[in-house]
Amino acid sequence: MLLQWCTLSPAGPSKLSAIRFSSPSRVHSIKIFPTDVQPFDQCPDIIADNHIVSRTEPKAFFLDVYFNAYPVGSPVDAKQKLKAPNALMPTVIPYAGGIVEYAVNMGSEFATRLMIVRGDFETVSMAIYGDVVSDSPPKSTTYSPLSLPTHSSVPLVPALDAAKSNDPTALARNLLALIPNAPSLSLIIRLMFCLKQPNDDWELPEFPHLYSDLNEEEMDIDLDTAFRSLSRPVMDDISSEQLHRFAKKVLEAVGPRDNAQSYLIAGILSRSASQTPEFSQALMQALELETIFDPSTLDEEALLTLLDATTNPDISRLLKASWFLNVLRAVLAPPTVTPEMKKACRRLSDRVGSWTVFDQALSGVPDADYARAALFLKDIGKEEKSFGIWLSCITTHEDLLAKIRDAPAYEGVYPPDLMSGLKPSEDISHSEFMAFVRAYVGVASVLAVYAWSDSLPNLHCRERTLGVLRLWQEIPGYRAIISPLLLLPQMTFRLECMTIGNDPPTTAGINAESLLYALAANPQSFLNPDFVRCVRSWEPWSLTWINERERADIERAAEIAAEGVGGAVEELVAFAKEGHDAILDQGRIRALRVAVAVIMHTLEDNTESGTKCGDWTVLEAVWGEHTHGLLNYAIDVFTRISVEVKQGFSLTPSPSLTIGLEPLLLVTNENLLIIASLYAFSITTSRAVRMLVSGILDMYSCADVASHESVANSAVRDAALLTKHACANVLCAFSRNLQDQSKCGLSIVLRTLFEQGLHFDNIDPTRRLLSAFYLVLRVLADDGDLPVGWMPIVIPQILTPLTLFFRHLEPAHKVQLVQRLVNLDRGVLGLGDFLVQGEVKRLASFLKVMAERRVVAQWEVGARLEFVTGLEFVAGLIEGEDGDWCISSLYQSEWGTVMTGLLEANIHSRHLGMIAGRLAENPESLGIELRLSIVAVLLRGVQVQEPSVRRMNAFGLISAVLETTDEKDRDPERLLWEVGHALGAIVESNDNLSSLDSESVVNTLLLLDSPSQSDLHGLTSEQWVKLCTHLETSLPPNMLPMLPIIKGFHPFPSPPPTISFLPSTLTIPLCDLISLLQPPASLPSTPPPKRKSPSQDVLGLVAISPPTAVLRSPAVTGLTKTYTRNDFRELRQLPSARQNTSRLPSMHVDDFLQVEMSSSPLVQPVAPSGDMLNLSPSFNMGQENGYI
């Protein structure tokens, strides 16, 4: 809401203005209007009634704003609030003209009554928006359910959305039109990136229309002259004859092979690559490059020049020949080749092949590698010349432009981020890739316009262009494209110049600071020396949009990057040594991310250079800091960060995170990457691995929640997905250790996951268990990377935690885990059989306990849950593609006991019927008890009309099972009772009985025919007649003679059995769920006795040592006194001895006096000396003590 509209003028020598609010208010934003602007244009009645017109002078200035801090929402009385100090919250507003709105984040703990404004202004018109805050907000007495908010991205206007434009360069051309007499976009691209002109040419009146005249050299020219003549662009309308004539002169100048000639030819190709397409094609037709380039004449400089040249598709296509690739292989062959040469050769070889991949991706061929094509664009954006050549080609080659114009429509809101390399090629569609290419072309073209407008300079065009770039940098998809391109040397330099001397503030300067600040959020930017030099040049208190604290944080990160790997190691180790006391804020997170990025960049030199110099460099830096064990320090850093993240996902209310979740997730992802890289050449302990795995489980659980689609912030979701991916990769790296599987490898990883997955430390237990399960599956992936023969070594060590973890999983997850283990085991250990039989044994034991307690029929929530999950697990394994092993395992288990117990309890479920049907397919290997139970279960399924039983030929399976049994083993009375009720249910539910297998029914009845039992319970006479009539018409002729036997059965109506059906899911009231989750009450117990005095404790040792020996021990000297003669009686006769007691004087002393003792009143039996001396030392009483 609008809190205040005012036009302020400074008063007094301090140039202060103040706004007082009538009640405490929380300001959300401040909008400043320039002069002669009518605010509130959407409310014309307000403007007409009040004649409101803004007045703001001058056009640009700084405003110092102070808010009086008024505490709200705290339980303090009015007197305490009156005594609160007048604290002021300061902020600075840089106003550079126009209508600008500034967001104010006051938080929820404070409001304000007073706003003070100071600055070098004459007048300023502003609107203040916010909310009125009351001291005690009213509490709602009624509950109103709320739905989760839906988050939708706001699409860009078509003019700014290059990803959906048929001409992605249209916006750049429109911005270029703001400059009077502007040259063409293609000429600007060449001048800004490919063929940079000297300063003297910029002063010429003909500039920028200064072209190379290829006809001025009528005589023969050498290669050096031809190379220098191409320092300027050629005209777009140059004739083909001139181009071919020049190419012929170059061919004539070619001489014997040498390094200089190879470099000049590469330079000519590079300078022609950005020109009109006919130029490079003419050179390719004229020159015989196979006679020019060979391994002996290609040095690093020539290779890098060819790298730029091959950004042109025509040159790249010609150099893709096998002869040139063989030349590159020959360059790499000598063992003395430098790492720089290796890196240049690999990049050139990849660049030559990438144009073909990119062209196929543009065409949308079925097997196009979109991921590699996107990485090709990422690679060319690292050097200005390659970037300019590609942009010139993509905007001038008609065949490439046609593919971009005719691309399929893209339905997404923003272009996808394909340069991160995280999305596999098969998950990228052609429309997504083309949207990405269009966005890349649009951003690159606008950057060329910005460079041109800044070079002139043209302030209006530059300001508008920077505004577009700033908008794109805040949008996913565009941000991933623009950020690396802004790190090109000239772009960083231009932005740096715009941040210097920005007083009064300008819109372009504010936009430049915003762009640099966004770049500083990515630690990869600090690997660019030009960016590091830029941010280190900022003077304190010299910036407009970036505050001083943020500037200092960025400068600190730049210093770490400038110091190299040594400074990065120092920062990482220092943070790790602080432990849990380490303070995590935005600045420390930035410093850590830069330190990790520097170390990772050093380690990545192993791949780019083909050597191990990166590992050695890191080790030398660690030793240079007089420390060791960088991997352990990295694990400590990860542990500290995981604790911080975990607080934000705790079940109990906890203080809100002091920093955003996105930077925490990003630093976690990057720290995990360095842990995986360091592990390859480091040594660690089991304790460190356990601590790492536990932290990874915490982070994976939190990231899994943050990656949900309901999270509004897409940046947080993307960071969470990166973190989850890194967590799984690190565990796989530690699990694939071939050196010590039992101590620091797969055994430790799996054991920790099993144990910590069941350790619910104030977080969602279901989410934690599920995360542990997913990580276990990821570790146990059958990808061929697991150590050979690991199961016999690892499984015995983790069998107990594995079994416990397995019992807590959901049935579907149990099935997945067992199937994965069975595939890895391949029958060596029989681990699947062990888990299945253990689950069956647990169900059988549960039934036995319930039967002993006589509560089998009282199926409470816990019992139902046990059997629902158990039966679903077994059914899931049997339904699998390879379920035969599970069936064999059930043969050897107590499954018959389980089925019998469920039958006796009149319990049935769809999973039980399905299991019985699968077991009935091969009954020969089953025991007789299990066969009869299978028959009974199938008949129960028919009785309750269970769908899974109805789909199978139940009576066919029943008759097949009964045929494998002997007549003496059958139980006709019991089974006929079940058959009768099953037939009654069929007749009752079907009108025509067409689906009934009459032959199987007859066979079943014949197998159960017994002279002693002919009653079919559950069938009425009418039902029996209907069934017999159907049998007469449906039986084949050869079975009609059996009908008299069948009709010999007698229907006997009886009520159907009460069968409880276990549902697939359980629904329980909330109160029952709460009672189940309540911890069990502690049983009352007798408290432990109070501790006795020291002398009593010593006397308690009499049981293990002779009493006399204890009393004479030096340890109790002074604690006891030996009474002789009448000492005890005399002591008891004292008056003080009888106070506060009702006991009579002891009378046993008189008797004791009659026994003559020399020392002690305690009577000890005297043993023969010979036997006594033969006792063990502890009981051996020496003669010197006077006992013998």
> In the prediction, which pLDDT does 814 show?
94
- Residues 533 and 487: beta-carbon distance below 8 Å: no
DSSP codes joined into one string, 854-920: T-TT---HHHHHHHHHHHHHHHHHHHSTT-HHHHHHHHTTTHHHHHHHHHHTTEE-HHHHHHHHHHT
> In the prediction, which pLDDT does 942 show?
86
**Rounded Cα–Cα distance for residues 714 and 516 (Å):** 22
Q: Tell me: the pLDDT tens digits for 1111-1120?
A: 444 444 444 4
> In the prediction, which pLDDT does 1124 show?
52
> In the prediction, which pLDDT does 277 show?
92
- The residues pairing with 8 across neighbouring beta strands, listed in sequence order, are 124
Q: Tell me: the pLDDT tens digits for 1004-1027?
A: 888 888 776 677 888 888 888 888
- Residues 979 and 959: beta-carbon distance below 8 Å: no
Top pLDDT among 981 and 494 is at 494
**Rounded Cα–Cα distance for residues 887 and 189 (Å):** 72
> In the prediction, which pLDDT does 538 show?
93
Q: Tell me: the pLDDT tens digits for 523-571?
A: 999 999 999 999 999 999 889 999 999 999 999 999 999 999 999 999 9
Among 293, 274, 3, which residue's Cα sits nearest to residue 128? 3
What kind and span of H or E run contains 594? helix 586-603
Q: Is 189 left (phi over 0), alpha (psi -120 to 50) or beta?
A: alpha
Q: How long is the chain?
A: 1188
Tokens describing residue 332: 């790499």
> In the prediction, which pLDDT does 735 show?
87
Question: Where residue 595 falls among pLDDT bands split at 50, 70, 90?
Answer: very high
The number of CA neighbours under 13 Å toward the Cβ of 541 is 2
Q: With 0-12 CB in 10 A as exposed, 13-18 as middle and 19+ as buried, what is 633?
A: buried
- Residues 241 and 268: beta-carbon distance below 8 Å: no
**Rounded Cα–Cα distance for residues 168 and 402 (Å):** 12
Average pLDDT over residues 496-505: 87
Top pLDDT among 213 and 390 is at 390
Strand, coil or helix: what is 395? helix
Top pLDDT among 1031 and 186 is at 186
> In the prediction, which pLDDT does 136 show?
56
Domain with CATH 2.60.120 in the chain: 2-132
> In the prediction, which pLDDT does 1109 show?
44
- Residues 557 and 591: beta-carbon distance below 8 Å: yes
Question: Where residue 318 falls among pLDDT bands split at 50, 70, 90?
Answer: very high
Across the chain, mean pLDDT equals 83
**pLDDT at position 41 over 60:** yes
Average pLDDT over residues 762-780: 92
Beta strand spans in 54-107 (E): 61-68, 70-71, 88-95, 100-103
> In the prediction, which pLDDT does 1179 show?
32
Lowest-confidence region among 243-257, 739-753, 825-839, 1169-1183: 1169-1183
**pLDDT at position 652 over 70:** yes
**pLDDT at position 76 over 60:** no
| pTM exceeds 0.75, yes or no | yes
Task: Name the amino acid, one letter, at 1091.
Answer: R
Top pLDDT among 743 and 726 is at 726
The number of CA neighbours under 13 Å toward the Cβ of 736 is 17
**Rounded Cα–Cα distance for residues 378 and 383 (Å):** 10
Question: Where residue 70 falls among pLDDT bands split at 50, 70, 90?
Answer: confident
| Residue found by looking up tokens 């006997």 in the block | 1052
**Rounded Cα–Cα distance for residues 194 and 386 (Å):** 8
DSSP codes joined into one string, 227-286: HHHTTSPPPTT--HHHHHHHHHHHHHT--S--HHHHHHHHHHHHHHHTS-HHHHHHHHHH
Q: Tell me: the pLDDT tens digits for 1083-1128?
A: 676 777 765 555 454 444 444 444 444 444 444 444 445 545 555 4
**Rounded Cα–Cα distance for residues 871 and 874 (Å):** 5
Q: Tell me: the pLDDT tens digits for 954-985?
A: 888 888 888 888 888 888 888 888 888 888 88
> In the prediction, which pLDDT does 862 show?
66
What kind and span of H or E run contains 1016? strand 1015-1017
Question: Where residue 761 falls among pLDDT bands split at 50, 70, 90?
Answer: confident
- Architecture of the domain whose range is 2-132: Sandwich (2.60)
Average pLDDT over residues 848-877: 75
Average pLDDT over residues 892-913: 86
**Rounded Cα–Cα distance for residues 387 and 308 (Å):** 9
> In the prediction, which pLDDT does 137 show?
58
Phi, psi of 908 (to 5 degrees): -145, 150
**pLDDT at position 1185 over 60:** no
Top pLDDT among 844 and 1088 is at 844
Percent of the chain predicted with pLDDT > 70: 84
Top pLDDT among 215 and 860 is at 215
> In the prediction, which pLDDT does 927 show?
84
Orientation angle between helical segments 928-943 and 954-963, nearest 10 degrees:
160
Average pLDDT over residues 1052-1072: 78
Orientation angle between helical segments 277-286 and 259-273, nearest 10 degrees:
150
The CB density around residue 1134, as the number of other CB atoms within 10 Å, is 9
Q: Tell me: the pLDDT tens digits for 373-430?
A: 999 999 999 999 999 999 999 999 999 999 999 999 999 999 999 998 888 889 999 9
Question: Where residue 347 falls among pLDDT bands split at 50, 70, 90?
Answer: very high
- Residues 332 and 345: beta-carbon distance below 8 Å: yes
**pLDDT at position 1159 over 70:** no
DSSP state, 190? I
Among 164, 154, 160, which residue's Cα sits nearest to residue 435? 164
Strand, coil or helix: what is 483? helix
> In the prediction, which pLDDT does 846 show?
83
> In the prediction, which pLDDT does 1116 show?
44
Top pLDDT among 267 and 1097 is at 267
Question: Where residue 988 falls among pLDDT bands split at 50, 70, 90?
Answer: confident
Q: Tell me: the pLDDT tens digits for 1127-1149?
A: 545 555 555 444 444 444 444 44
Lowest-confidence region among 942-946, 1045-1049, 1084-1088, 1173-1177: 1173-1177
